[in-house]
Amino acid sequence: MNIVPFLFAILAGGLGAGLRVAVTRILPTQTTGFPLAILLVNVVGSFLIGMTAALAANSVLSEDVSFVLAVGFCGGFTTMSTFAVESIERLRAGLWLIAGLNIVGSTALGLLAVGAGYLLAGGPVS
């Protein structure tokens, strides 16, 4: 196993996470209450991982470069991008039920998990 892509993924993940912090600092939610920064990060990350997946599928990007960009940068920037590309891949494969379960299940369970985390940490859920 080649360790170099993993090391680059760690660096790319740090870059993605740092960029996410920068976006959330530039676009605070206090003025409107709408999480514009998170929406922007999730949409941009989804777009980037979609491009990465397409370029990898067309052999424009190597498996290692695709791994670094998708898992590293996009993973550090947002996990929404991975969820979105996995859902699209299943839809493209005609796996409608699996895609639907992934979309509904990830969203619902994610929200429930956040609520559970809030409750366990003693925070407000409403």
Helices (H) and strands (E) counted in the chain, each on its own, are 6, 0
Q: Which residues contact 90 (CB under 8 A, 6 or more apart)?
A: 96, 98, 99, 102
Q: Which residue has the higher pLDDT, 63 or 38?
A: 63
Number of domains observed in the structure of the chain: 1
**Strand (E) or helix (H) holding 101:** helix 96-120
**Residue at 103 is within a domain:** no
In tens, the pLDDT along 86-124 reads 889 889 999 899 889 889 988 898 888 878 877 787 766
**Residue at 117 is within a domain:** no
Q: Enter the pTM of the model.
A: 0.75
Task: Give the per-residue SS3 of 12-36.
Answer: HHHHHHHHHHHHHHHCCCCCCCCCH
**Residue at 93 is within a domain:** no
**Residue at 92 is within a domain:** no
Distance CA(26)–CA(37), nearest Å, equals 8
Q: Domain span at residue 65?
A: 4-78
**Residue at 38 is within a domain:** yes
Whether residue 3 has pLDDT greater than 90: yes
Q: Which residue has the higher pLDDT, 86 or 64?
A: 64
Percent of the chain predicted with pLDDT > 70: 92
**Residue at 28 is within a domain:** yes
Whether residue 5 has pLDDT greater than 80: yes
Q: What is the pLDDT of residue 115?
A: 80
**Residue at 13 is within a domain:** yes
Q: Please, which pLDDT band fits residue 32 given cuts at 50, 70 and 90?
A: low
